[in-house]
Amino acid sequence: MTGPNDIDAIRAAFQTDLAAVANEQDLQTVRDRYLGRKQGAVAALMKSMADAPPADRPAIGKSANLLKREIDLALATRKETLEASTRPAGSVDVTLPGREMPFGRRHPLTLIREQVESIFGTMGFEILQGPQVEDDYHNFEALNMPPDHPARDMQDTFYLDRPMPGVDRTASTQPATLLRTHTSGMQIRYMENHQPPVRIIAPGLVYRRDTPDLTHSPMFLQVEGLLVDDGITMADLKGTLVSFLQAFFDTDIRVMFRPSFFPYTEPSAEVFISCVFCGGDGCPVCKKTGWLEILGCGMVHPAVFEAVGYDPERYTGWAFGLGIDRVALLKHRVEDIRLFYDNDLRLLEQFPH
């Protein structure tokens, strides 16, 4: 005979089974066990009412229907809980704590360029920007580089448009355009339109046919400087560059000038600083010499002044060229120049904002 005790027993058993549900498959098993049409516990309860006394059947039927609704509601609630805990891939769990977004910052090469510009800016130098696609005249000829100079070789220069092989470059009207190999072209462009005194620096990207390695790149940042006026001497060049290098690196750094050759300066010099890694004592970086080459410089060649219409008998001046990437390697103790262009946040985040 079916009675209240049977209904309470089914309710208690259902609550125990529901508490053990871990996934939707378990939930379906519990649903079939209690609400299945043929073998479910509630269906069996309804069928057993035929054995109950007629006077008790209405109360038992009402209790059975109430149990069915309780079970159905509990199963629906449990299903919602399971779906919320097993969200599809890519969905957002709003209960998780937020993730801090990284802040952007200037590139380490930009920081070096800005520092160089700041130092020369305090000395009264004007900062120029120029075209990265240059013509042969401003990049080579006006800088006293004859047609057979090694820097014109295809192994060094990225030509975009040049005379056909076998054509005399000096006699041809065919234009020769290229990716600039230095920013010296801006010195020519400025002097063509301005009379002395001239006090400028020209930072920017330059391009050369170099195989990438620890210290070389086919694209790199360079800054070149020019000063022209009456009575400018090598002593002015030396005083300016020593002041710049000590402001950039350290006031205790030692500077050495060594005679060299560049086609657009005469006399010319290579500038060395005491090794920033060993303090000049000698280490593998400086090859045990205690010195590191840092830049090239010299007094502007009279032929360059003639190309821009300056009187070389009246005016003198000096120029220098500095690789920003190279000094960045020394300044930040980075061993591979390619790391500056990989944009790896693990490296870039080590530098200040």
Averaged pLDDT for residues 139-153: 82
**Overall pTM > 0.75:** no
Q: Cite the beta strand spans of the chain per DSSP E.
A: 126-127, 133-135, 159-161, 177-179, 198-207, 219-230, 255-262, 265-274, 291-300, 315-323
Would 94 be classed as within a structural domain? no
| pLDDT surpassing 60 at residue 80 | yes
Would 121 be classed as within a structural domain? yes
pLDDT band at 106 (very low <50, low <70, confident <90, very high): confident
Averaged pLDDT for residues 198-223: 89
Q: Between 119 and 165, whose confidence is greater?
A: 119
- Domain boundary at 31, 51, 85, which? 85
Would 155 be classed as within a structural domain? yes
Order of strands, sheet of 177-179, starting from the edge strand that comes earlier in the sequence: 133-135, 177-179, 159-161
Q: Between 260 and 216, whose confidence is greater?
A: 260
28-51 per-residue burial string, b: 16 or more CB within 10 A, e: under 16? eebbebbbeeeebbbbebeeeeee
Say what the pLDDT of residue 267 is: 95
Say what the pLDDT of residue 173 is: 56
pLDDT band at 3 (very low <50, low <70, confident <90, very high): low
- Say yes or no: 45 and 142 in one domain: no
Would 48 be classed as within a structural domain? yes
Averaged pLDDT for residues 187-216: 91
- Say yes or no: 177 and 236 in one domain: yes
Averaged pLDDT for residues 81-93: 70
The residue range of the domain holding 29 is 4-85
Say what the pLDDT of residue 200 is: 97
- Say yes or no: 249 and 326 in one domain: yes
Task: Report how far residue 1's alpha carbon sits from residue 6's, in angstroms, rounded to the nearest whole number.
Answer: 9
3 state SS of 311: coil
- Say yes or no: 270 and 127 in one domain: yes
Averaged pLDDT for residues 134-153: 84
Q: Between 246 and 89, whose confidence is greater?
A: 246
- Say yes or no: 73 and 15 in one domain: yes
Write phi, then psi, for 199 (nearest 5 degrees).
Answer: -145, 95
Instruction: Please check whether residue 235 is in contact with residue 256, taking contact to mean a CB–CB distance below 8 angstroms.
Output: no
Structurally, the chain folds into a number of domains equal to 2
- Domain boundary at 28, 52, 85, which? 85
- Say yes or no: 192 and 332 in one domain: yes
- Say yes or no: 324 and 236 in one domain: yes
pLDDT band at 278 (very low <50, low <70, confident <90, very high): confident
Averaged pLDDT for residues 322-334: 88
Say what the pLDDT of residue 174 is: 58
pLDDT band at 91 (very low <50, low <70, confident <90, very high): low
| pLDDT surpassing 90 at residue 279 | no
pLDDT band at 198 (very low <50, low <70, confident <90, very high): very high
- Say yes or no: 150 and 272 in one domain: yes
Say what the pLDDT of residue 154 is: 60
- Say yes or no: 32 and 179 in one domain: no
- Say yes or no: 214 and 330 in one domain: yes
Indicate the average pLDDT of the chain.
85
Q: Between 98 and 126, whose confidence is greater?
A: 126
Say what the pLDDT of residue 234 is: 96
Would 201 be classed as within a structural domain? yes
pLDDT digits (tens, 9 = 90+) for 241-262: 999 999 999 888 899 999 999 9
- Domain boundary at 48, 70, 85, which? 85
Would 100 be classed as within a structural domain? no
Query: Residue 262 belongs to a domain with what CATH number?
Result: 3.30.930.10
**CA nearest 334: which of 321, 319, 351, 317?**
351
Averaged pLDDT for residues 31-35: 85
Would 235 be classed as within a structural domain? yes
- Say yes or no: 292 and 334 in one domain: yes
- Say yes or no: 180 and 267 in one domain: yes
Q: Between 168 and 351, whose confidence is greater?
A: 351
Say what the pLDDT of residue 296 is: 95
Would 294 be classed as within a structural domain? yes
